[in-house]
Structures are given as structure tokens and as C-alpha cells.
Structure 1
């Protein structure tokens, strides 16, 4: 009987030790898991610090200012907002558009070296309708008119046709725009500017070499628009529209410039 009690006590002691051993193993596993998790968090923390440092350096780095075109040429660029345009771009746009629109030489704008050496006569572009029959404007003015907003373009072309001498299309009359002053653009709203231009229109006819000068002082209102995507190969009307709207600007109004001082 004593022997049985001794064996039973021994078995109970072994069971207790076995449970204790299992309990210690589970605790060790949890400790190792916690230690591993802490190590991973520590590594992640250092990686985030490195990424933050890299982003900080990238933020301080100046944006690229040189862009290479498909033609192989490189141009300098500057980061600006979608509704922002530099004063130089606005002045260039206004000057080029008004010069192309108001210079009536009686010849077509040259597109090749041969045409520049031997210009072709300008037959004009007919914009006649029920109200304005047999109304013509020069081909250059028609081309430049695509720099105008759509709601302003039609009315402006009617007014332009009314003052275009018929002798221009017969090679008897020439009209030249002579800009005297084009002031820096004045911002009037977000993405909108006005430019004051003081100029003369000089009209020269075959029977009068002295010519006639008419004041052409205007306030030109310009706004930013989304420029068209650069086409690969286009011609005709599509090429004309792209050329006139490539700067991302359009003229939406022109009015007489009030005379400030005598």
C-alpha cells in the first residue's frame, strides 16, 4: 500500500513538472514574439525616418528647368500655375496676334522659302452671310482670328470686314499696323489680364504715296485657356488653330482706349 502511494505521488509530481515545463515554453514563445514584433517596429521606424529625410531633400531640390523636345532642342521652363502666364508670354501673344490680324499686305502669309521670296496674291476669305454680303477679310486676319474667343470672334470679324478696303485684294492698297507702345499686362482677375496698346494704322494706296494714318489705340483683354495637345502631323485648319492657341491664351474683348492726356 505504501508502495502504491509512493508511485502515485511520483506520478503527480511528474505531471506537475510537465505542466510547469509546458507553461514555461509558452511564455518563452510569447516573449520571443513580442521581442520580434518590437524589432520589426524599430526597423520600420528607421525606414520611415530615412524616407522622410529623402522626401525632405527632394522637396528642397529645385524642379528641373530644362526640357528636351522631340526635335532634339532643349528649352528652359519654369513651374507656374495652370492659370498663370508670364508677362513676356502675354505681350508676345498680343503683339503677334494683332500684327498678323491688322497687317493687310495683299499677299498670303508665306509658308515656304519660295513663297517668302515670291509672295502669292491674297484672294481673301469670304465671311458673307445674309447681313454681310461679299464681305472679305485677309487670310492672315482669318488665321489670327482663331486666337479670339468663340463668342467674340464672329462679331469682331464682321467689324473687321467692314473696314477692310477692297483694294487690298486687288493689290492696290496696303495697311500696316505700327505699334507705338504696348504696356505690361495688368491682372484684373485670376487668369485674366488687360493690355493697353497705342498704335497707328498706315494706309497706303497706289495713287497716294503719302498714305493715311489712323489711330488704333485699344485695350485688349486676354485670358488663360487650356492649350491644345501638340499634334504629330497636321495641316490645314487644324494646324492654324493649334498655332494660334499654342500659348494657352485667347483674346475675349477689344475696346477703344480712352485718351488720358492731350
Structure 2
């Protein structure tokens, strides 16, 4: 009889032990899920979003990744659209306004030299005063594949012409703009939006999401073109 009671007690304890073990496992699982979510939220707070490069050259923001690499199409698209913005003017969109906005895409130590280079493109000094009815448009024929100079730095060759049209000259005049353009990657976007942005602000801001900037522009035949902007102009 005593043996029977002892075995009965053991059999009654087994379900309780199973329930307790299951409860502990569930509690441990809940703690792991909670800790994982807390770590994920902390990681999002400590690390800013970074860019994601798409195949067609467009960029979007995504999870952080410290990287100075850029896809060739991202670089070519940045060069083409940046230079087109800088060299497309009209009376409604004067070059001084265009430069003020688009120069955010240029390295700080190169801005003045590039501005002088753009002013000297047109002997009529239309950079300061665009004539009524005149328009300037940059037409790009070709942008070469980027050549990597060093980590986060590239060089491309751009073959283009700036066309100037007036109300008296519908055929327009062409000024050659064949250049070597040096690009470097930056960690943070250099562009920002003002309180009352113009369409050009949005275009420049979108380009700035690529986290690239123009660091030098040299003549196409310059064999010594480097990242040193002091060599860009004679």
C-alpha cells in the first residue's frame, strides 16, 4: 500500500514539473524577444540611415552601412545632372541663383575656382546679367566610365557643349565644355532645403543624397589633373 502511494505521488508530480518547465521556456523566449527588440531600437537610434544605390543610378536611404564605394552609374548620373543644373540658365532662372543653390554639390575648397571657370565661359558676362529672352543649356554628348583614383575618389571625362539662344539668334551659339571631373564620396549629405524651397532646391537636394561632391574640374587634355583643386585653373 505504501509503495502504491509513493508511485501515485510521483505520477502526480510529473505534470506539474512539465507545466513548470514549459512556463520557464515561455518566459525565457519572451525575454529573448524583448531584449532583441530593445537592441534593434537602440541600434536605430545610434546609427543614422545611409544611402542605397539602385541599378539605374538613383539613390534612396536605408539601413546604415559605412561605405565609400559608389556604383559607376551613380557617379555618372551625379556628374551629368549636377553639371547640367549648373550650366542651364535663363532670365527666369539666372546663373547667380543657380550657382548659389547648386554649389552645395561642390567641395568647399573648390567653389571659388569653379565659379570663376563658369563665369569665364561666356565673354559677354551673362553670368551676372542674362539678357532678356536668352537661354543657356548644357548638352552632354558623353560621360566616360569612372576611373577610381583612390578610396572614395573617381575621375570621369565629360564631353559637352553649352548652347546659348537669344530672341535674335534661334540657332544659338555653342561653347565647348570638355572636361575631366573629379568626384569624391562624403559621409553626410552636404545639401539642405530652405524654408521656402524652389524646384531647383529639390533637384539639388535629391542629387545630394548620393553623398558625392565635385572636387576638381580640369581641361580634357590636362595630364596632371588630380584631387588638388589648385591645379584646376591656370
TM-score tier (shorter): 0.5 to 0.7
- Give 3-state SS (helix, strand or coil) of 1:197's partner: strand
For 2:179 and 2:102, the matched residues in 1 are separated by 17
For 1:76 and 1:101, the matched residues in 2 are separated by 25
> Offset at 1:81?
5.1
For 1:176 and 1:167, the matched residues in 2 are separated by 16
| Partner residue in 2 for 1:100 | 85
User: Which 10-residue stretch deviates more, 193-202 or 81-90?
Assistant: 81-90
User: Which 10-residue stretch deviates more, 248-257 or 165-174?
Assistant: 165-174
- Give 3-state SS (helix, strand or coil) of 1:210's partner: coil
Instruction: Spell out, residue by residue over 1:59-105, the C-alpha distance to the aligned partner (whole angstroms, 9 max, x if none).
Output: xxxxxxxx9xxxxxxx7979965211111111111111000001112
Give ranges in structure 1 of 5+ residues lacking alignment.
Answer: 1-66, 68-74, 109-123, 125-136
> Offset at 1:139?
1.6
Q: How does 1:1-262 map to 2 (within 5 A)?
A: 82-108=67-93, 124=94, 137-162=95-120, 163=122, 164-165=125-126, 169-228=130-189, 235=195, 242-258=205-221
Q: Is 2:186–2:213's contact at 8 Å kept on the other side of the alignment? A: yes
Length-normalised TM-score, structure 2: 0.57
Q: Is 1:147–1:249's contact at 8 Å kept on the other side of the alignment? A: yes
Over alpha carbons, which structure has the higher Rg?
1
The CA RMSD measured in Å over matched residues stands at: 3.3
- Give 3-state SS (helix, strand or coil) of 1:169's partner: coil
For 1:91 and 1:78, the matched residues in 2 are separated by 24
Would you identify which runs of 4 or more consecutive aligned residues in structure 1 move more than 6 Å?
75-80
- Give 3-state SS (helix, strand or coil) of 1:208's partner: coil
Q: Is 2:190–2:208's contact at 8 Å kept on the other side of the alignment? A: no
Choose between structure 1 and 2 for higher RCO, CA contacts under 8 A separated by at least 6 residues.
2
Give ranges in structure 2 of 5+ residues lacking alignment.
Answer: 1-51, 53-59, 223-234
Length-normalised TM-score, structure 1: 0.52
For 2:70 and 2:133, the matched residues in 1 are separated by 40
For 1:139 and 1:203, the matched residues in 2 are separated by 18
- CA change 1:165–1:246 in 2 (3 A) is same
Q: Is 1:105–1:168's contact at 8 Å kept on the other side of the alignment? A: no
